[in-house]
């Protein structure tokens, strides 16, 4: 992918990206210079310059009788992105409030691949609220996902103060663990182990806030679903408690 495509992905339009790159290569340049380098009509360049000025990506100066334009250093593109991020953070509460107003309807989102599963786990801990988990057997989980959970997600969950109760299959061969709850206070977690014959789950099922996430970890079938539904959440909570008290 060429630089022009990347600049468009972060918020510049096609002509802004072309002109910025042309000006960056030229250094201080007149409108005529910029037109020749970018292959954009002179009459259009003034409008693009104004747009880049609003983004704080170009400055003007006088050199003798000529007015020249100087593109800001590439670092300023980072500042431009930071400004966009700050604006988004300012409106995020209003967006969330708007979403809550229509949250009576169920909503489903599907995610694929490792990055998709990471987004599901990030959603679980982006707001306060305990998590209930009917965990998939560890031998069915891709090693890359296990590494993410152990070294990235779990430390962030613990740092956020989010507690988790987890029902898991007992693959240790130690029958003394069957039906026992193992407290792990340092990890803000309790784990209940069930024997192999009593554990039917091959997916991970996570119940949190008003949502339920279903996660398939296997390499050939790595995807997940987040379902926001009070009714489904309520039902899955009841199923979880039936296994927890078994």
Domain boundaries, the chain: 3-77, 100-244
The residue whose two tokens read 């995807």 is: 223
- Residue 183 three-state SS: strand
Q: Give φ, ψ of 10 to 5 degrees.
A: -100, 10
Tens digit of each residue's pLDDT (9 = 90 or more) over 33-66: 898 898 898 888 889 989 888 888 888 888 888 8
Indicate if 100-244 has the same CATH topology as 3-77. Answer: no
Check: CB of residue 166 under 8 Å from CB of residue 192.
yes
- Residue 66 three-state SS: strand
Paired with 190 in beta bridges are: 165, 183
The domain over range 3-77 is classified in CATH as 3.40.250.10: no
- Residue 99 three-state SS: helix
Residues 6+ apart with CB under 8 A from 143: none
Question: Alpha-carbon distance 118 to 146, whole Å?
Answer: 11
Question: Alpha-carbon distance 59 to 202, whole Å?
Answer: 59
The residue whose two tokens read 């998939």 is: 136
Lowest-confidence segment of 6-20, 67-81, 86-100, 142-156 by average pLDDT: 86-100
Tens digit of each residue's pLDDT (9 = 90 or more) over 101-119: 554 578 889 999 999 999 9
Does the pLDDT of residue 97 top 70, yes or no? Answer: no
In eight-state DSSP terms, residue 178 is B
The mean pLDDT of 24-28, rounded to a whole number, is 86
Predicted local distance difference test score (pLDDT) of residue 1: 45
Check: CB of residue 80 under 8 Å from CB of residue 57.
yes
Lowest-confidence segment of 9-13, 20-24, 186-190, 239-243 by average pLDDT: 9-13
Does the pTM of the predicted model rise above 0.85? no
Q: How many residues does the chain have?
A: 246
Helices (H), 27-131: 31-38, 42-54, 75-101, 113-125
First-to-final CA distance of the chain: 55
Q: What percent of the chain has pLDDT over 70?
A: 90
Residues 6+ apart with CB under 8 A from 110: 223, 224, 225
Residues 6+ apart with CB under 8 A from 59: 53, 69, 70, 72
Quick one: which of 12, 44, 9, 30 has its CA closest to 21?
Answer: 12
The mean pLDDT of 165-184, rounded to a whole number, is 89
Paired with 228 in beta bridges are: 107, 211
CATH architecture of 100-244: 2-Layer Sandwich (3.30)
- 87-94, Cβ contacts within 8 angstroms, sequence gap of 24 or more: none
> In the structure encoding, which two tokens stand for residue 206, read together?
């996570």
């Amino acid at each position: 992918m060429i630089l022009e495509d990347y600049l468009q992905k972060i918020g510049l339009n096609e002509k802004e990206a072309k002109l910025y790159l042309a000006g960056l290569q030229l250094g201080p340049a007149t409108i005529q210079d910029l037109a020749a380098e970018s292959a954009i009509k002179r009459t259009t360049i003034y409008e693009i310059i104004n747009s880049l000025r609003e983004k704080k990506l170009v400055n003007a100066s006088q050199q003798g009788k000529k007015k020249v334009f100087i593109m800001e250093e590439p670092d300023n593109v980072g500042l431009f992105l930071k400004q966009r991020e700050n604006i988004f953070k300012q409106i995020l509460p209003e967006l969330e409030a708007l979403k809550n107003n229509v949250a009576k309807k169920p909503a489903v989102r599907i995610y694929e691949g490792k990055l998709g599963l990471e987004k599901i786990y990030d959603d679980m801990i982006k707001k306060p609220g305990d998590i209930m988990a009917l965990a998939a057997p560890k031998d069915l989980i891709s090693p890359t996902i296990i590494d993410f959970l152990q070294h990235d997600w779990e430390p962030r969950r613990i740092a956020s103060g989010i507690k988790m109760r987890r029902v898991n299959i007992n693959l240790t061969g130690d029958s003394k663990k069957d039906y026992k709850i193992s407290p792990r206070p340092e990890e803000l977690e309790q784990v209940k182990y069930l024997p192999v014959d009593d554990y039917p789950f091959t997916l991970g099922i996570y119940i949190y806030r008003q949502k339920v996430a279903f996660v398939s970890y296997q390499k050939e079938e790595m995807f997940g679903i987040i379902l926001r539904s009070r009714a489904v959440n309520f039902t899955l909570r009841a199923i979880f408690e039936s296994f927890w008290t078994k």
